[in-house]
Every structure is written in structure tokens, then in C-alpha cells.
Chain A
Amino acid sequence: MPVETDVVDAGPATPQQMPAERPLLVASHVSRHFEGVRAVQDVSIDVLPGRITGLIGPNGAGKSTFLAVLAGTLPASSGTITFDGHDVTALPAFRRARRGMVRTFQLPSEFAQLTVLENLLAAAPHNRGDSLVGALLGRRYWRADEDRLVEQARVLLERFRMSAKESDYASSLSGGQKRLVEIMRALMLRPRLLLLDEPMSGVHPSIVGEIADYCEALRDEGLTILIVEHELHMIERMCDPVIVMAQGSVIGQGTMAALRQQREIVDAYLVG
């Protein structure tokens, strides 16, 4: 696992985190500069499969920028990103998504004037009607795919207890519901790595726990998750390991309990 020389390594988090475990995502010396501002500076992390990896840090630490670089929403200024053994650094966001790296956003990014069900269907791949030619060939050409995907979307809506909202415009949902729609939308792609950017921010406390439950359930089904979040008690509950960023760099990683023992990290973030 690539580790910064000045990173506080809080040690292996669990016995499962052994070197033999092949990372699903490897970010190696990734930087992102905005005309002189170093938002992300030489960050290297591994994301191990079947786990929820937490990414925490104070505001302005570069977490969301780093997540955007991983997903391809922003290009990296330098460094490489490898997903499942393939270098994806040069791939645009939509190609990374098609390979199984799907992200959500810090701010609600629902398709406001589409219904909840349409939000999910819009994300679904493998629909023969999702091309100009397919569209012109008419409903008969794509109906089977559409029916299958509607069924898949409704299963997700049931699981997230949002069936009653399927025909509502996404713009009419509460903040928490929009977060759930974003997660369901990402799941329509059957991702292998879910990149969640503050999914609990601005959400009613009752839904915060629910989102954590869903994340854990998805992890138990084999999905790998990298989550940026400020709700530290949820990070502590869900994540193993946790990576701490400050001022664009990684300053530590390990379990939350171990990180709490590190004075540098506590000073930098955990108590402000």
C-alpha cells in the first residue's frame, strides 16, 4: 500500500486487511492543481474490495476534489489511477462509470424534472432504446429492455422504501430522499466501486442511520465503497479503514479508534 512518508499509519485495521488482498482501486501520487492552488497534493491510497473505506478531513482538505479526480469528473494534474488492474487515468468520467466506478455528489444532483423512477432508469445501461437509432426504431425495438429495467428499478425502490414516490418529480423530494435517489441511481449501473461524496450531509438524522444501514448491507453483498463524510460516528461504525486528509494530502489512515490516538490527526481534524 503506498503510504506518504509523513503519514501517520495507525496500523492494520483488521486481520482481513492483509497485503495479499488486491486493491480494487489504486491512486498513486495523484495531484490536482487549480492554477497554482494545490487542492490535492501527491495523494496515494488503496481501496480494498468488499469494504467501506472512509475519507475524512476538515473542510477544504481536498476530499471532494480527490473523489472527483478518482471518478474522472476532474482530470488529475499528475499521478495515476488504477481500477481493477487497469489504468483509467486518461478515461473520461462516463467511461469510468461504465467500468463500474460510479460516484454521487456533495450537492444534490438529482435530475429535477424527471420522476424518481426515471432518475433510476436514466442511469441504467444496456437499453436498446438509449441511442438515436434505437429511439427511431420505435418502442417495439426497446420495450423488452425497458420493462426489464423498470422491474430492476422497482426492486431498488422497494428496498429503499421509496416505491410510493416513484412517480414524483425528484425536485419535490426532501434532502434525504434525494440522497437515496442518488444512491439508487448509482446502483442501477451495478457498480463495483461506489464513490459517495457526503451522502449524509443536509439529511434528516433519521435518514442518516438508514443510509449507513444501506451502505453496510451493500458492503455485505460485496460492493466496495469509498465514502467522504463528516458524520464521524457513522464513519466509525461503517468504515475500515479510514483515511484522513488535510490541506490536500493524506495525513493518516487506519481504524477510527486508532486514528483517535494520533495527536497530529486529532489536532488537525478530530477536535477541529
Chain B
Amino acid sequence: MTYYLTTVLVYAAVDILACLAISLQFGVSGIVNFSFIIFQAAGAYTAAVLSLPSDSANGGFQTYILGLNLSFPIPWIGATVVGALLAPPIGLVVLRRLRSDYQAIAMLVLSVIASLVVTNTPAFLDGAAGLSLVPQPLSDKFNPYSDGYLWAYTIGALVLAVIVFFIAQRVINSPYGRSLRAMRENEVAANALGKNAVALKMTVFIVGGAIAGLSGAILVGFITTWAPSTWLYPETLILFAAVIVGGRGNNYGAVLGALLVPVGFEEATRYLPPFGPPGLIPALEWVCIGGLILGFLWFRPRGVLPERRRVFPARPKALAAGEQHAGRD
């Protein structure tokens, strides 16, 4: 039971982080980053190869680069940094010249290419087989199979999700967040008002990349394996569905979406009695995810918890004078 609960909660923390990052990029800034999952994968692979020993260890049954055997928290920090560093090259190619719909297609293609490259270069990150036996953080000091360790890991993951939530709150409630929202609404107009849209997009792309990298590190540290099959491009669509359902541009909405879709929805379908041919239930899950996206975009496009309206406190003087500036029609 402990393992099940902690697994669900760690996945919840990872999905919350991912949804917060997507909400910042897509919900607040209007960047349709369909390559999001490769940032999470980059973080997971980085944390893995920084914490794994040389690939000649364990009988050399897997091949990978680095294998530096570094202790926690360096692999997690490395994962966060690599997630952030991956953003500029992708951003410079995709975000500078392409319109947002073409950006989305280019990102999707990048995601497919990245998966194919890793799968077909076994010497890089062990190809399709992926990495396994990734050392868990501090597993040399504590028993990673004990209940105490599992709960400590879970609490650590949730605390990181809370910290990132507050960082995301600072971003969206600041003048910088307002500039991101202005850019989302009308990039050409924002440019004409002195906003450097490319720089704005790049910074939020880097922040999202860093959060994605951290989420990958947390996940791989818990499940101890990572392979291309875990980060196929449809995983990004689930996270987008979560943000659309929860509420774009609202961090509370991102958290709610993470809990409802990737965690709640997938856990709920786990308990369905088996029916139909093998593979039908997972296929129907995808149908339902697609239906969720379409349904919300049609009936409630701003999600369960829409982006909140920012109302500024009135000036006391104006209140006292009973400001009478008639509205126009």
C-alpha cells in the first residue's frame, strides 16, 4: 500500500511540475510546445547518466555516455540545468521566425526526431532498451526499499512541486507575466509597444525547460529506469489535456488538471474490469483524452479554473470622490 500511495503521489508531483511548466509556456505565453516531453526526457537521462556508474559496471549490460556516479543532488541540479540549456537551441530554431501554429508542428517533429535518434543510437543512452538500475538519491546512505525512504522521497518531490508552484505564481503575477500574456494575446502589437517577443518567449521557454528537466530527474530517481517508450510524443498531449481541463494560465488550474487527467484519469481506468481484445482499454483511454480536449475546447475553453481577472485596488481618493466617469457604450 505504501508503495502504491507513494508512487501515485510522486507521479502527481512530477505531473504537477510538468503542468506548471506547460501552463507557463502555453497557458500564459501562448507557446504550443509539443516537444515538451523531450525536455523531461533530457532531465531524466541527465540525472541517470550523472548518477549511474560507468557503463562497464553491472557487467556492462547497458551502454551510455558519462556514467559519472555523482551523488545527490548534483544529478538533479544537472537535469534542471540541461533542461534549461536545451531550450535556447530549440527556441532559436523554432521560436524566432515561425508563426505559432507552425511552431507547434516543428516542436512535434522535433519530439519524434529526438525519440528516433535516441532509439537508434544505442551507444548514446542504450537505445530502445533504455537505462535501468539508476541509483536512487542517497541510496548509499538509506535503504531505498524502506517505507521511510519512500515517504521521504514523496515528501521531497511534493515540496519541490510546491516551491515551483510559488515560483510560477511569482512569474504570472508580475509585470513580466503580464508582458507574457500580452504577447500571447497579440504578439505583433506587443512588439510595437516595445516588448521583445523573442526574448520573452525564450526566457519562458528556458524556465519551462528547467522545470521539465527537474521533473524528469524526480521521476527517474523513483522508478530507476528510463527508455524511449516512456517519453513518446503523445505523453505531451496528456499534459496539454491536463492544462486545458484545469485552466490555462492559472497555476491552480495546472495543479488541478495534473491531478484530474494524468493522475486521476489514468488511475481510475486502472480499475476497469478487462473487456474486449487486448489493448482496447489503453486505446479507449486515448480516445477519452482526445474527447476531453475537444469537449473542453468546445464547451469550456478556459478550463475548470480559468485565468483570473486582475483587479487593482482603487485609489482612496477616487473612492472618496465617488469617481463618476460614465462608461461608454
Contacts and interface: CB of A to CB of B under 8 A. Distances in A.
Given A111-B186, A121-B175, A167 B194 contact: no
B327 A134 contact: no
Interface in A142-201: 142, 145-146, 150-151, 154, 157-158, 161-167, 169, 174, 176-177, 185-186, 189
Contact of A122 (B193, B197, B204): B193
Nearest to A123: B193
A162 B328 CA distance: 8
Contact of B192 (A71, A110, A125, A130): A71
Contacts of B58: none
Interface in A94-117: 94, 97-98, 102-103, 105, 109-115, 117
Q: What range describes how many residues of A lie at the interface?
A: 35 or more
A28 B80 CA distance: 50
Contacts of A97: 191-194
Interface in A211-239: none
B317 to A, nearest CB: 10
B179 interface: yes
Given A161-B326, A163-B325, A94 B174 contact: no
Nearest to A158: B325
A110 to B, nearest CB: 8
B248 to A, nearest CB: 10
A94 B328 contact: no
Given A109-B186, A164-B326, A132 B192 contact: no
A23 to B, nearest CB: 22
Contacts of A185: 193
Given A122-B190, A122-B193, A207-B328, A132 B181 contact: no
29 contacts: A71-B192, A72-B192, A94-B193, A105-B192, A109-B189, A110-B189, A111-B181, A112-B185, A113-B181, A113-B307, A114-B182, A118-B181, A119-B182, A123-B182, A132-B176, A132-B204, A134-B175, A135-B171, A135-B175, A135-B176, A136-B170, A136-B171, A142-B174, A150-B312, A163-B325, A164-B325, A166-B312, A167-B309, A174-B329
B310 to A, nearest CB: 6
A115 B309 contact: yes
B192 A129 contact: no
Nearest to B177: A135
B196 interface: yes
Contacts of B325: 157-158, 161-164
Contact of A111 (B177, B189, B329): B189
A73 interface: yes
B191 A122 contact: no
A131 interface: yes
Given A73-B188, A132-B171, A98 B181 contact: no
Most buried by A among B204, B315, B318, B328: B328
Interface of A: 71-73, 92-94, 97-98, 102-103, 105, 109-115, 117-119, 121-123, 125, 127, 129-132, 134-136, 138-139, 142, 145-146, 150-151, 154, 157-158, 161-167, 169, 174, 176-177, 185-186, 189, 207
Contacts of B186: 109-112
A164 B174 contact: no
A151 B182 CA distance: 20
Contact of B175 (A114, A129, A158, A176): A129
Contacts of B197: 94
Nearest to B306: A113
Contacts of A145: 175
Contacts of B193: 94, 97, 102, 122-123, 185-186, 189
Contacts of A142: 174-175
B167 interface: yes
Contacts of B310: 114-115, 118
A103 B311 contact: no
A135 B174 contact: yes
A226 to B, nearest CB: 14
